Structure 1
Amino acid sequence: MTVIGLTGGIASGKSTVSKLLAAHGFVIVDADIAARQAVAKGTEGLKQVEAVFGPEAIEDGEMNRRYIGQQIFHDEEKRLALNSIIHPIVRDIMEEEKQTALAAGHPVVMDIPLLYENELEATVDEVWVVYVTKDVQLERLMTRNDLTEEEALARIASQLSIEEKKARADVVIDNNGSLADLERRIKEIVAEYYKSH
């Protein structure tokens, strides 16, 4: 069975694509979910975050995401410190889920937002990129997260450009249209996948 790396830019519609692929029998291993598990209440990961970022990093026994977000968005050193805590734990969680699914004979989709940024292409057999133009991305991100244009652009700029991701993809999933368009595209991709694997 194949391991597919699914990625895209922020607000490109990756979680919608994941749901559609799951409906077609793919097992989704989600890096965002694993990242939340890595710093869940009472975990070793959360203790390490508190040790590095101080007591303000914890709110009601959980990671204060807003505070941490403010800390890391403009400070490369703090972002790297957070990543060095979370990434190894996330890798272990995802590897275990992947092996379980493969052993059961399912194709696996590793949903990894920063797949290229963290140079994880070698950990998957092929990369599928959910693609939207930068204008669509900006509009959706501002709407979804209630951000100003400046805030949204800063988040987009913190990732590799969507055009670069598209150029490096094995499969491009265009999500500039409606949900119905996306569903049609996924059907085509899945049919093609099952034919060739």
Structure 2
Amino acid sequence: MLRIGLSGGIGAGKSTVSSTFSELGGIVVDGDVIAREVVEPGTEGLEKLVEAFGQDILSPDGTLNRPALAAIAFSDDEKRATLNGIIHPLVGKRREELIAAAAGDAVIIEDIPLLVESQMAPMFPLVVIVHADEDLRVSRLIEYRGFSEDDARARIKAQATEEQRRAVADVWLDNSGDADELVAKARDLWHQRILPFAHNVQRRERARVAPDIVAYDPNWPDQARRAVARLTTACGHHARRVDHVGSTAVVGMDAKDVIDIQVTVESLAAADGLADALLAAGYPTVREITEDNPHTDDKARWQKRFHASADPCRPTNVHLRVDGWPNQQFALLFPAWLAANPDVRQEYLGIKRDALNAPDYADAKEPWFRNAYPRARQWADENGWQA
């Protein structure tokens, strides 16, 4: 099962994308629909809302008067927090019930209006955000949903900012055009990324990429931050720390377009216990890689567990290493050493480019690494570097 988080500001066009994914075979779990369901007459949700906001939020027939509730709940941050504290847990419980009833190989589209505000983004292997500029969203809300301009802008202001949404977005769908353009973008996303992603997860396979050195991408730090948040959530207390490592962690350095993340664990047994959680997060186990090439005599302490992303559009390697072991320490030291030494950075880049023509890219770099390990350790000792 692959779970996709879908969100966007009010009036952005999220429903169009959700409907398109549904037509293509996705199982849509709609947060708005569930939010209405959990406050129907006779529900625990409606009872709690009345307790918090009074009888005036009810219509004469006993149903929830949504405009009346909005006028109260969106008037200040404290009341909005009260509303969210009532609704979010109930919606979450119902969402999990619906997902549990879906087929094991389903692609679940979780349509969550407040995905960013509720800090749920790291729960999903892929987050899709639909966006349109505020003025365009206001005009749509006025024309199609009968909002006043003041009400539309108040609702937009109460939601996450564009900057906050961009921080969690793996995919940013711009909806500044017409609905047909947005549908076409959603269809392309489904066929080019979501379906291959789901296929790889189902087969427990990583996305394959050909080795190539590309120019430094300023988006790498943001992509890594999302991966770190996702892996921190998936691993929970079993991860002692989660770090962006490898060449893409060195600002300005050309590298393979692959994000490397290290998850530091207590033991290899703890790493093995995380296999299912990492698969659910989109990172299947790569069983043929169980150790790093040792650069000390203590070869047993260079073992690790290796996972990699099933997402064809964001190759990511996940190295689970034991806290304090030399491979875990070196993974943290290496990007710091490269960042502090431009000459070494250029030296390593040349080695990597030469290795592209070798039968095995990783093996071709090993002679250089055997010499680099003591050099990096010496630099660390001389400069007081600590992980």
Q: TM-score, normalised by structure 2?
A: 0.48
Secondary structure, aligned partner of 1:129: strand
Specify the alignment match of 2:111 in structure 1.
111
Shift of 1:167: 4.6
SS at match of 2:29: strand
Q: Distance in 1 between matches of 2:46 and 2:149?
A: 32
Residue deviations 1:38-91 (CA, integer Å, cap 9, x gap) = 111111211111122222122212112121111011122222222222111110
Structure 1 vs Structure 2: percent identity of aligned residues? Answer: 37
CA contact (8 A) 1:134 1:162 kept: no
Q: Give the paired residue count.
A: 196
* 3-state SS in 1 of match to 2:101: helix
Contact map agreement 1:132 1:162 (CA 8 A) in 2 = no
**Which structure has the larger Rg over C-alpha atoms?**
2
Residues 87 and 196 (structure 1), Cα distance of their counterparts in 2 relative to 1, 3 Å cut: closer
Deviation sequence 1:147-194 (CA, Å, 0-9, x none): 343332221111112354135311122222122212211121011121
Give unmatched runs, 5+ long, in structure 1: none
The whole-number CA distance in structure 1 between the counterparts of 2:133 and 2:53 is 36
CA distance in 1, matches of 2:196, 2:86: 40
Q: Does 1:99 align with 2:100?
A: yes
C-alpha contact 1:20 1:186 (8 A) present in aligned 2: yes
How far is 1:104 from its partner?
4.0
In structure 2, the residue matched to 1:78 is: 79
Q: Could you say which residue in structure 1 is the equivalent of 2:146?
A: 146
Residue aligning to 1:38: 38
Letter in 1 for 2:12: S
Correspondence for 2:28: 28
What corresponds to 1:157 in structure 2?
A: 157
For 1:147 and 1:86, locate their aligned partners in 2 and report how far apart those are by CA, in whole Å: 23
1:41-52 correspondence to structure 2 within 5 Å: 41-52=41-52
Q: Distance in 2 between matches of 1:7 and 1:104?
A: 23
TM-score by length of 1: 0.92
Tell me which of the two structures has the higher relative contact order, counting C-alpha pairs closer than 8 angstroms and 6 or more residues apart: 1
Higher helix fraction (1 or 2): 1
Matched-pair contact (CA < 8 Å) for 2:116–2:168:
no
Distance 1:139 1:57 in 2: 27
Q: Distance in 1 between matches of 2:133 and 2:56?
A: 37
RMSD (Å), alpha carbons: 1.6
Aligned residue for 2:5, secondary structure, equals strand
**1:123 counterpart = 2:123:** yes
Q: List runs of 5+ in structure 2 lacking aligned partners.
A: 199-387
